Amino acid sequence: MLKRLFGRGNPTRDWPRRQVEWVTADLDAGSLNGVRLGEPLERLQFFGPGEPFDAAMLVFPELGVAVEHAGGRLESFCLILSGEASDFDSGSFRGRIRFRECELPADGAVSEADLTSIAGAEVDRNTAHGLTLSYDGVDMTHEFDFYDGEHVVEIWAYGNDA
């Protein structure tokens, strides 16, 4: 009862069973199956109950998706393209990925050169913990975390006002 009063615990525990088998991630719009960053978390009920990763992060392992939430709103999401190489205990992403008007391979087989040709040179390249390419837009930031320079392990989308 105290967890409910103070907003702790799993906010998805009472959601109905998963109603989707496939996710459409539109990175340009910052959306998962049409639910955009900043919208109420409960709009993702069709994902079914998630598994808590930490106080603000839920993982939907059957779909290969993790979401960060705060104040009942979707703050960011992560597409887990390789469950084996990710820090999340999850299966791999199941669905379609749109970025800059292109469809990216859901198996993560995209290189740094591929992303640069799609998104242009406005990239922040970070090698502190492997290779991460960050693309800052007006409304959001996208991060592509690489495993070996040729395979993306995770794709993150963050709202810039989050």
Mean pLDDT of 84-95: 86
Q: What is the C-alpha separation between 26 and 145, in angstroms, rounded? A: 17
Say yes or no to pLDDT of 6 above 90: no
pLDDT top residue among 77 and 86: 77
Which tens digits make up the pLDDT trace of 141-161? Answer: 999 998 766 789 999 999 876
pTM exceeding 0.75? yes
* Cα 161 to the center of its chain, rounded Å: 17
Range of weakest confidence among 36-40, 98-102, 114-118, 119-123: 119-123
The per-residue pLDDT for 137 is: 78
Give 140's strand partners.
Answer: 159
Which tens digits make up the pLDDT trace of 9-50? Answer: 799 999 999 888 999 999 999 999 999 999 999 999 999 999
